[in-house]
A and B are shown apart, each in its own frame.
Chain A
Amino acid sequence: MKEKPLVQGRRDFIKIGTLAGTGLLVGVHLPNCSRHVEASHVSSENGVNMLAPNAWIRIRSDDTVTVMVNHSELGQGITTALPMIVAEELEADWSKIKVEIAPVEEVYKNPAFNTQMTASSTSVYTSWDILRKAGAMARETLISAAARAWKVPPSECYAQNGAVIHKPSQRSFRFGELVDKTAGIPVPEDVYLKKPEEFKIIGKRIPRLDTKIKTDGSAKFGIDIKLPEMLVAVVVHPPVFGGKVKSVDSQNTRKMKGIRDVVAIDAGIAVVADTFWQARLASDALQIEWEENENSKLNSDALFERWDEMAKSEGKTQYEIGDVDDFFGTDGKTHQAMYRIPYQGHATPEPMNCTAHVRDKDCEIWAPTQHQDAAQEVAARITGFDYEAIKVHTTFVGGGFGRRISVEYVVEAVQISKILKKPIKVIWTREEDTRNDRIRPATCNFMEAAIDSNGLPVAWRHRIVGADVFGQMLPKLIPSIMPYWVPRFLRNGLSGIGESLLPRVVPGKKAIKGAAPLQYNIANVRAEFINDDPGIPIGYWRSVSAFSNAFAVECFLDELAAESGEDPFDYRDRLLTNSPRMREVMKLAADKAGWKEKPPAGVHRGLAIHRFHDTDLCFVAEVSIHSRHEIRVHRVVCAVNCGIVINPKTIESQMESAVAFGLTSTLKSAITIRDGKIEQSNFDDYPILRIDEMPKVEVYTVQDTRSPTSIGEAGVPVIAPAVANAVFAATGIRVRKLPILPDDIKNT
């Protein structure tokens, strides 16, 4: 066994002690821990051994180990993955692991954003070091406690499967038995972290911890919350973006059964009733006149025309290597194309909802949200309460996909509850949910390449026209990102300034995600962005700009391969000389798909690669074209390098999920704008991929000892270009827009 020096932990780094017979708490937190640490010192539990609440691990005398998870369970399996990391180092008995979703506290902020938020596929890689260390510290503390009780040196003891064992005598204590024996034990700061070859839990197909309750109806989602005296509200939002109520006649509504009130809130008119269905029916009886609004002139078709035009002039360079100008406008061979990617909706299966109870001095919120700090922030702003008076409970989340990073539904519930002084559950109807979505931006992508004598691109320009999510979302994020000590007036003031200023100054860098840097070895590359924000509410959407950019990049690259008459795999392979990791991933996918062999009759293959954050992916899609030009995707082979694999099943599920999610946008649906409104409203006009359209998905991972990278979004950008390239292989038609519909290939 390794030497494990036990030293006293710094108080600002780790706090450990015992709650009388109930539990041992370990918290590893950021050095700048603030208010909540202090608060916890005051709120004594049982009056003994005051502990910081900033804890990741709770070991109880009944042997259970509770892992505090600071991310929302959106379906990605985070409430299994993060406990696996802890349990590995702790040497816990996996069958004794329990999970609790963390409350809003400094220690639980996502270090990638300094706000408690489940976004951008950051959960695992930001937690990796923190949770391993937390687990190891708890392990060493338990070992020390056992050693002291046995009066033996800790070096003779080790932890295994939820117990500490004294090697020479084979005596053992279960973790639960050690809880009361840890008092006064110094906490090690430098702990031994296991090597990948020592892993027993990480890398295993450990079943998810949340499955059983998702098969018997007992998992509680936000929409399921029920409180005594609770009323349910349906909010009617303005039909046109940014609309305001001019007048409302609620007489008929108020007469309807179960209606308790009709109130005006910032977002629109809320009908409050005993039940959702009563509120829903009565909301139809409202007579609302909306103010005239410039936005009613917005049309997505017109926007695309405008962007086509704008794409003719140069944009702001966001990335550049070499100098592309030397190659365009000369006599050399060039190739150009325009790719148009439409708006997309989230269509989370659980519509937006939130329950809030504003009382005299405090407020409680139950929300299926991806952004706890923002929920707390907006509630603080509305109620005027301190953060400490606002408690946020995160429920299970029926699909997030980035939609629940912004928290309009929390604002609505808190505003209504503040007026009516009762617990209020706001539920958006599917129609309200679709029309008030913060949609994924549409873009036009002008692609241009100069080709050398070997048929390879020597210069590459990607010009993106559209609005940048970051410009609209950053002002909303700012108040939650600010440190807790920033006073309210400054917080409001700064975000007010941000609201007007930021959309104009920040856009660019995020909008080119997936467009540059390229994995391909091209000497001269430029990515430009032309920001044109018409004011349509846009937001984060699983992989955001990477989806549209990867579509343009990987299809255009395929065009170049076709231009030079080369196999798409070989062509890419020639260009990946500087990216051995990607090359290996691409080869793995091609081998497994049998790329070099002839596909079955009628089947055609397409390939695409993509690096998302630090995850390398390659998909090979097999499609066939049927009567009336129906496109069927039969099989998708996914190769992934995402560093150390925590749970292979999670990777497989996330790839399947990415394929399904991406195929809806590839072959079925889009959001269109007419007269300042989203035209779609439900799954009849925004159809979602069905099981009979789901291809067989095969997933292969490359063994790697890098720290784990990202997986939740990573596969989404890869599927559309892989399918589009297969459609080209099948038909010879290059469809440069999404979704690809039978009409687009009818001339074959």
Chain B
Amino acid sequence: MSNTQDLQNLVNYGLVKAHIAMGLVFFIIVGLVGFLYSLQLDGIYPFPGIEFLSPGRVRMIHTAGAAYGFLVNMFAGLLYWAVPRFTGYRVLSDALGWFMWIALQAAVLITVVAILFLGQADNVEWGETPWWIDPIIVFWLLLHLVQFGAPLFKASQRGPLYVSGWYISAMLVWTPLVVFMGNMIPRFWSAGAGAGAVQSTFIHDLVGLYVTPVAWGLMYYFVPIIMKKPMWSHGLSLLGFWGLAFFYPMNGVHHFLWSPIPMFAQYSAVFATVAIEFAVTSVLINFMMTLRGSAEQLKYNVPLRYMYTGAIFYWITCFQCAFHVTLTFQKVIHFTDWVTGHAHLIMFGTFGLWVLGMAEYVWPKLFGKETMYSKGLSEGAYWLLMIGVLAMFFDLTAAGLVVGFDWIGLNPWIDSVNFSKPFWYFRSVLGIMMLTGLFMYAVNFWKTATAGKGLSAELRSDSV
């Protein structure tokens, strides 16, 4: 499978391009609406009194758009690249692929129209899509299962699957179950505390059983390929995968600690969360040990740097989690910006940077070029995004502590709003910084795709 012609027959380049391009467009849109909403918190919202730009509605576009517009598109694109390449089989059908591509964009656009213009939303965080779209999304995810399940199934007839294959196979099965469970059960088959337990499981599972496994699956593919060496330990890979598979889905209720959910469920979620820390640590040790001896590459290779930066942020997030999952920390930080800081470090800092790194690795190859259009834009985008999200994390974590203690102190409510303002202003400034990074990244993509002559790697010091 080494010559280019074979690989081109294996991977549908058009689908990879189309998904990644839409993922990037939605990434920017998600950033823009996040920034817009942050202006409301600053008290300088530019469109007051316009019904369809009501800040609360815009906020739902931010979270639902991040899930379905940005992440699903990006991951689907990268799966179209990676799965055929490591299994050696094509996806089930190209026609199905294009149908799914159109259906996904349509579902996201319908959601945007429904939330902004029709006022139809669902109060499930990350599942804000109106309930009548959810069965369509579940159906889409079943197609996703057969589309990528086919090559994985065929490959495992021949022998054991590579690590990425385990993560992606499990994710393909989990995701439709999770979306069905999280959007249908709380609305039609339960209410109150029971629904809350399902919703918390959903919030966590969409991260833990979709985003995390697909992202780790892709990491296990791209990192060894870029460094041209195998993972450090197969045993740790096994431990990490089965640890995640068993403990992750039991974590959900930790989003609603001290709520009316029966206490035994809260305790078991806290316990499972501590257990997951060990699985995560084993995965990270594996990646860090793989890097040993090759760390020099981080200097030149921007995609690899995105991946390892994201991995370190992943570790920071999980380390932080070990504290705030305790009932003691929860007293202070629940409902504050601490949580928002945590959410962005993992979603933007880890998964966002990872997909950007992977996309930047794949993109020039899709157009038969050896390198991205501009090293400057590529470096600039990296630093703006990395510093931006890290600073946002520290900013919001600090804000969360200030506000949490202020609330306990029973001061007038408006004090907590005023105390938060400086932190919120700073977050908006960081938002501009991150958006600038994203625009630079997008310009680089555009230029790479449209550059007339083949961009060659002559001037680069690395050779990946």
* A complexed with B: no
User: Residues of A at under 8 Å CB distance from B?
Assistant: none
